[in-house]
Amino acid sequence: MKRVVLIAAATGVLTLGGCATLDAPACPVGQEPMRTAQLFFGRNIGDKPGVSDAAFRKFVDEELTPRFPAGLTVLDGGGQWKGAEDKLIREASKVVVLVLPNGEGSRKLNEARKAYTQRFHQDSVLLITQAACVDF
């Protein structure tokens, strides 16, 4: 299985995560502790571009929206990694950002990742979760 590091180019921000636990932060007045999840969906099938905007929209409509009806954000991104024979591989991606109540959503996130890997013949979907303070 290849290891993938993707950069959310649309936001200009690189987010790194790796927490073993998500302790609730001490939030400022007016904000509540929640968590964010970022899903990084590669758009190549094999070594060629393959997941069109329409196909990804259909995936969002059929797989993500039913699991996360409160809302989500979809960003365009791009990533790169070292593939076989130490060759640099670049790939367009979609980055989905979700805000979730603490302790909720893990099963749904993993179901969505599995659905994408099966539908589009992917090796993996990167998931990053982080504790956050939120106010809507």
Domain region containing 54: 40-134
User: Is 45 among the domain residues?
Assistant: yes
What confidence score (pLDDT) does residue 22 get? 52
Render each residue's pLDDT in the chain as its tens digit; 136 residues. 344 444 333 333 333 344 445 566 799 999 999 999 999 999 999 888 999 999 999 999 999 999 999 999 999 999 998 887 898 989 999 999 999 998 889 999 999 999 999 999 998 999 999 999 999 9
Q: Assign 3-class secondary structure to 75-109.
A: EEEEEEEECHHHCEEEEEEEEEEEEECCCCCHHHH
Number of domains in the chain: 1
Report d(CA 103, CA 120) in Å as an integer: 29
Task: Assess contact for 42 and 122: CB atoms under 8 A.
Answer: yes
Q: Tell me if 23 is assigned to some domain.
A: no
pTM of the model: 0.80
Q: Which of 14, 71, 61, 66 is nearest to 40 (CA)?
A: 14
Residue 109, domain member (yes or no):
yes
pLDDT of 28 reads 96
Asked if 119 and 45 count as a contact pair (C-beta separation under 8 A), the reply is no
Which residue, among 81, 69, 71, 88, has the nearest Cα to 40 in the 3D structure? 81
The continuous run of DSSP H or E covering 55 comes out as helix 53-59
Whether residue 114 is contained in a domain is answered as yes
Q: Phi and psi of 48, rounded to 5°?
A: -125, 150
